[in-house]
């Protein structure tokens, strides 16, 4: 069964990366469907899988196929459930079953022997796909396969902010005096401290004096081993008397409602936790893994089936996770009320996602509904917050469309000055004041004299270019701005295409220039650059430049991009300074800020704090230039343009290096 890496073949029909519970379940299903016959199969797993490290429980009727298939290794079953010291309830016709992980691994070992499956005691490093061939990399050796079933978490789930974990410490105990009811499984007993989370005891009695007693915590922070052992000792002593500790069990299950990112590569199927089988609100996965295995082996052949959750139940799970994350102390009253108002049988069916919508509404009405409504509000906000800024930008241009000033003024009214000034102070300048944190110009993330010196030196050639050849200065400024705008957007929208990102930014800038033809020429005049020749139908040309991106954004389902394009299209309704200012501050600067935040993993407050020295410096420069020097308005606009161009150059260098380093 085990083989050394030297003797491994170059190709197998099927490879399992990881010998997890999901692998065991799938192998059993394949064996049942004769799908392993005459197949070369390899399992790559660094552990030996003898340990009894987990207990797998699930509920089903005895007529269900899952029970029939696993009956031979089910070691215990319970017919009643108890919550706290409430009255125990029958769950008939369901029963709650228990399988020891060691029995599950052992039964798989029998299948492995029977089918001459090879086990390689190594770690999978990565999986490559070359010319549509799957290649599993072990110890820098590539092993190709026709099918890959993977239970290793290669893919990180989408980073959902409302993810917590279910962590637990369990004692297998023997009581001095019999006092467990061997037919009653205690699902949740909240008579323990909550510690700013949702904590309960779970008891699986094996007989009248032996049981697994587990302290479980739903929370952001994982359970503390020492504290929970004290809690467990106290709970068992208080409710069941003296006991002897036989074994300990510990574990962590992710409670993450973000949809698992499935790869789209043919014949590569993620299974188990990686395949999205864990129900986020409970941590149960066994039945989902079984259902997944049945679908993979449907019709007596292997199918590329990817596990999908029902969206209604996914939404309920997300609401519960929002509550457990934001208001962790509300978990206890919610669960207690649930079991007081609904039968345990109903609750198990609900967890199995088999209830009707009408029943679910009735159930929610019996629960503390206010907290669920708050959670719905948070859910809506978290789903749509990315569209808030684009939405307000679109609203602004629709409400304040300015037909009079259009095409003939680069000047702003007081309200416009307020909007742009406020935006520049809160987002525009701060987003460029964090370049030291990128650690690109210098390896330290503090502002030093050396850093400022290099920064200023980088600005000098741009300044000289503007002085000597303003047209070249402008062209150069446009090129590196397009590079930077496009790169920032595409990193945020997770699209990898440098040429396209550049073309996108170029098109949007040209759209703005062409739809504000006269204003653009006014600015050129202020910069001492000859105006661009009059062209026919500038608006139509502008539209032709942007429309392909609109269709492409819909094709890619990048709704953030689509919203931004809608803003750009509508920006023709306001003057050029406003159109570009809104885009630059409330779109580009915000995106750059969010990209930095995501990779540096620091709070908004800390970012503002770190940006403060540069912000103050920039404001001082502004003051000297625009107030103290008493220039005319048109001179100020020209200076501002040049200043922006000079200061952007080192910023763009820093951000490009940062993106290349951190967004690979
Ligand atoms: C303590 C515990 C108790 C649970 N109890 C229940 C329960 O009662 N009922 C229920 O429905 N669910 C339960 N679950 C949830 C779920 O059923 C289990 O987590 C289950 O083990 C998930 O199966 P899996 O195949 O995804 O991963 P795992 O069983 O965790 O297997 C992953 C395997 O991948 C291997 N691996 C990791 N990295 C590599 C690598 N680079 N190369 C090769 N192999 C690698 C690991 O060694 C491991 O063997 C429990 C979970 C835990 C942690």
The whole-number pLDDT of residue 267 equals 92
CA distances, 38 to each of 267, 443, 553 (Å): 19, 57, 47
Close Cβ partners of 6 (under 8 Å, ≥ 6 residues apart): none
Asked if residue 548 has its Cβ within 6 Å of ligand 1, the reply is no
Q: How many other C-beta atoms are found inside a 10 Å radius of the C-beta of residue 589?
A: 21
Rg, Å, the chain Cα set: 31
CB 190 within 8 A of CB 202: no
Compute, in angstroms, the gap from residue 101 CA to the centroid of ligand 1. 10
For the chain, counts of helices (H) and of strands (E): 23, 18
The Cβ-side half-sphere exposure at 94, using a 13 Å CA radius, reads 20
Instruction: Write the CB contacts of 517 (distance below 8 Å, at least 6 apart in sequence).
Output: 407, 534, 538
User: How far away, in angstroms, is 103 Cα from ligand 1 center?
Assistant: 15
Tokens coding 348: 């198990």
Pair 139, 220 in one domain = no
| Measured CA distances, 147 to 45, 136, 397, 540 (Å) | 17, 11, 53, 51
CB 230 within 8 A of CB 249: no
Q: Which of 255, 275, 295 delimits the end of a domain?
A: 255
Counting as low any pLDDT under 50, the low residues of the chain are: 405-407
> How far does Cα 59 stand from its chain's mean position?
31
Residue 20 C-alpha to ligand 1 middle, in angstroms? Answer: 5
Let me know whether 437 and 491 are in one domain.
yes
Nearest alpha carbon, ligand 1 atom 38: 152
**Ligand 1 contact, 126 CB (< 6 A):** no
| Cα–Cα dist 546/566, whole Å | 10
Identify the pLDDT of residue 407.
Answer: 44
Q: Clarify whether residues 477 and 612 are in a common domain.
A: yes
Residue 386 CA to residue 423 CA, distance in Å, equals: 17
Supply the angle between the helices 559-570 and 498-515 in degrees, to the nearest 10: 20
Q: Phi and psi (nearest 5°) for 242? A: -65, 150
CA dist 609 and 124 (Å) reads: 43
Q: Is the CB of 286 under 6 A from ligand 1?
A: yes
Looking at the fold, whether 46 and 182 belong to one and the same domain comes out as no
222 and 273: one domain? Answer: no
Give dist(CA 338, CA 91) in Å, integer.
Answer: 15
Q: Give the Cα separation of 153 and 160 in Å (integer).
A: 16
Is 556 part of any domain?
A: yes
Atom of ligand 1 nearest to the CA of 24: 25
Residue 319 falls within a domain, yes or no?
Answer: no
Residue 657 Cα distances to 370, 487, 489, 662, angstroms: 48, 11, 16, 9
Contacts of 658 (CB under 8 A, 6+ apart): 438, 440, 596, 599
Q: Is 639 domain-assigned? A: yes
Q: Does residue 447 fall inside a structural domain?
A: yes
CATH number for the domain spanning 13: value is 3.50.50.60
Q: Rounded distance, CA 332 to CA 199, Å?
A: 8
Number of domains in the chain: 3
Q: Give yes or no for residue 101 CB within 6 A of ligand 1.
A: no
Residue nearest to atom 34 of ligand 1 (CA): 18
| Most distant CA pair in the chain, distance | 98
Distance CA 15, CA 27 (A): 11
Find out whether the beta carbon of 618 lies less than 6 Å from any atom of ligand 1: no
Q: Is the CB of 253 under 6 A from ligand 1?
A: yes
Binding site membership of 44 for ligand 1 (Cβ less than 6 Å): yes
Q: Is-above-0.95 flag for pTM? A: no
Q: Where are the alpha helices (DSSP H) in 583-632?
A: 590-600, 604-622
Co-location of 605 and 494 in the same domain: yes
Nearest to 58, CA basis, from 187, 159, 158: 187
CA distances from 605 to 160, 426, 430, 601, 613 (A): 21, 12, 11, 12, 14
Nearest to 186 by CA among 115, 303, 88: 88
Question: What pLDDT does 618 receive?
Answer: 78
Residue corresponding to tokens 């502004």? 622
The answer to whether residues 1 and 132 touch, using CB atoms and an 8 Å cutoff, is no
Helix axes 357-366, 369-384, angle to 10 degrees: 120
Same domain flag for 412 and 560: yes
Specify the residue with its C-alpha closest to ligand 1, atom 46: 18
- Assign residue 238 the CATH number of its domain: 3.30.9.10
What's the pLDDT at 663?
A: 80
The DSSP bridge partners found for residue 128 are 135
- Does residue 304 sit in the same domain as residue 424? no
- Ligand 1 centroid from CA 353, angstroms: 22
589 lines ligand 1 (CB under 6 A): no
> Beta strands of 223-338 (E only): which ranges?
243-255, 268-270
For residue 559, the number of C-alpha atoms closer than 13 Å in the C-beta half-sphere is: 8
Do 434 and 569 have their domain in common?
Answer: yes
Tell me the H-state helices in 11-133: 21-32, 65-70, 101-114
Tokens of 144: 């190709």
Asked if the bond preceding 93 is cis, omega within 30° of 0, the reply is yes
Ligand 1 atom 5: residue of nearest CA = 56
Length of the chain: 664
The confidence score (pLDDT) of residue 54 equals: 86
| pLDDT of amino acid 406 | 46
* 41 and 175 co-located in one domain: no
**Scanning the structure block, which residue is given the tokens 């949809």?**
259
> 3-state SS of 215-235?
EEEEECCCCCHHHHHHHHHHH
Q: What is the domain extent for residue 440?
A: 383-662
427 located within any domain: yes
Residue 27 has which token pair?
A: 């192998």
DSSP letter at 662 equals: H
**Which residue, of 208, 234, 255, is where some domain finishes?**
255
Q: Is 46 in the pocket of ligand 1 (CB under 6 A)?
A: yes
Contact call for residues 67 and 60 (beta carbons, < 8 A) = yes
The CA 23 to ligand 1 mean position distance, Å, reads 9
Atom of ligand 1 nearest to the CA of 286: 11
Query: Which of 20, 58, 252 most suits a substitution to test ligand 1, by most atoms within 8 Å of the C-beta?
Result: 20
Quote the CA–CA distance of 199 and 527 in Å, as a whole number. 67
Q: Is 301 left (phi over 0), alpha (psi -120 to 50) or beta?
A: beta
C-beta separation of 546 from 568 below 8 A: yes
Q: Within this chain, do residues 447 and 543 fall inside the same structural domain, yes or no?
A: yes
Residue 424 and residue 562 in one domain: yes
Nearest to 253 by CA among 288, 212, 295: 288
**Dist. CA 54 → ligand 1 center (Å):** 8
Tell me, yes or no, whether 106 lies in a domain.
Answer: yes
Ligand 1 centroid, distance to 21 Cα (angstroms)? 6
In a domain, 332, yes or no: no
Q: Measuring CA to CA, which residue among 387, 406, 388, 438 is closest to residue 651?
A: 438
Where residue 480 falls (left for φ over 0; alpha for ψ -120 to 50; beta otherwise) is alpha
Cβ of residue 58 lying under 6 Å from some atom of ligand 1: yes
Report helix, strand or coil for 91: coil
Assess whether the C-beta atom of 276 lies below 6 angstroms from ligand 1: no
Ligand 1 lined by 430 (C-beta under 6 Å): no
Within a domain: residue 340?
Answer: no
SS (H, E, C) 489-523: HHHHHCCCCHHHHHHHHHHHHHHHHHHCHHHHHHH
Contact 196, 184 (CB under 8 A): no
Distance CA 416, CA 475 (A): 28
């Amino acid at each position: 069964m085990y083989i050394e890496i030297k003797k491994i073949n170059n190709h197998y029909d099927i490879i399992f990366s990881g010998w997890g519970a999901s692998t065991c379940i799938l192998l059993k299903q394949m064996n049942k469907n004769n799908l392993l016959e005459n197949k070369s199969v390899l399992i790559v797993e660094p552990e030996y899988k003898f340990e009894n490290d987990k207990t797998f429980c699930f509920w089903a009727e005895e007529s269900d196929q899952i029970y029939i298939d696993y009956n031979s290794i089910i070691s215990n079953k319970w017919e009643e459930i108890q919550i706290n010291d409430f009255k125990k309830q029958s769950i008939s016709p369901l029963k709650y079953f228990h399988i020891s992980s060691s029995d599950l691994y052992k039964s798989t070992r029998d299948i492995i022997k029977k089918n001459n499956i090879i086990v390689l005691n190594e770690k999978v490093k990565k999986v490559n796909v070359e010319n549509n061939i799957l290649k599993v990399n072990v110890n820098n050796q590539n092993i190709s396969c026709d099918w890959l079933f993977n239970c290793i978490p290669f893919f990180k789930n989408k980073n959902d902010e409302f993810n917590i974990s279910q962590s637990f410490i369990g004692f297998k105990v023997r009581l001095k005096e019999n006092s467990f009811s061997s037919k009653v499984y205690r699902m949740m007993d909240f008579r323990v401290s909550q510690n700013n989370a949702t904590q309960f005891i779970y008891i699986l009695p094996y007989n009248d004096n032996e049981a697994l007693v587990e302290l479980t915590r739903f929370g952001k922070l994982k359970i503390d081993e020492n504290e929970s052992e004290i809690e467990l000792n106290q709970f068992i002593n208080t409710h069941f008397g003296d006991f002897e500790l036989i074994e300990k069990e510990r574990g962590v299950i992710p409670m993450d409602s973000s949809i698992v990112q499935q790869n789209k590569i043919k014949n590569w199927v993620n299974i188990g936790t990686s395949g999205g089988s864990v129900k986020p609100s409970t941590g149960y996965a066994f039945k989902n893994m079984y259902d997944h295995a049945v679908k993979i082996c449907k019709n007596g052949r292997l199918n590329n089936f990817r596990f999908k959750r029902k969206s209604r139940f996914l939404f309920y799970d997300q609401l519960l996770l929002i509550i457990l994350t934001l208001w962790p102390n509300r978990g206890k009253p919610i669960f207690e009320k649930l079991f007081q108002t609904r039968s345990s049988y109903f609750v198990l069916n609900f967890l199995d996602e088999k209830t009707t919508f009408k029943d679910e509404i009735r159930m929610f009405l019996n629960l503390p509904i206010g907290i669920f409504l708050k959670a719905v509000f948070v859910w809506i906000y978290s789903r749509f917050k990315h569209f808030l800024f684009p939405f307000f930008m679109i609203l602004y241009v629709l409400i304040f469309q300015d037909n009079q000033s259009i095409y003939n003024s680069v000047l702003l009214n007081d309200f416009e000055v307020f909007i742009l000034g406020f935006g520049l102070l809160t987002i525009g300048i701060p987003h460029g004041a964090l370049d030291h944190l990128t650690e690109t110009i210098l390896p330290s993330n503090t502002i030093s004299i050396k850093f400022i010196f290099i920064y200023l030196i980088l600005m000098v050639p741009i300044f000289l270019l503007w002085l000597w050849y303003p047209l070249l200065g402008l062209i150069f400024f446009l090129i590196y701005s397009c590079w930077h705008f496009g790169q920032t957007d595409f990193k945020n929208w997770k699209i990898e295409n440098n040429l396209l990102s550049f073309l996108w930014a170029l098109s949007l800038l040209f759209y703005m220039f062409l739809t504000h033809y006269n204003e653009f020429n006014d600015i050129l005049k202020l910069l001492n650059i000859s105006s661009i020749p009059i062209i026919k139908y500038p608006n139509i040309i502008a539209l032709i430049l942007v429309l392909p991106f609109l269709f492409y954004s819909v094709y890619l389902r990048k709704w953030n991009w689509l919203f931004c394009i809608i803003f750009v299209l509508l920006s023709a309704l306001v003057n050029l300074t406003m159109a570009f200012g809104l885009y630059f501050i409330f779109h580009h600067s915000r995106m750059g800020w969010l990209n930095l935040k995501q990779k540096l993993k620091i709070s908004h407050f800390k970012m503002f704090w770190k940006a403060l020295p540069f912000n103050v410096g920039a404001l001082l420069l502004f003051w000297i230039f625009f107030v103290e020097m008493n220039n005319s308005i048109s001179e100020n606009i020209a200076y501002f343009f040049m200043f922006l161009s000079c200061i952007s150059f080192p910023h763009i260098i820093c951000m490009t290096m940062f993106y290349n380093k951190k967004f690979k």
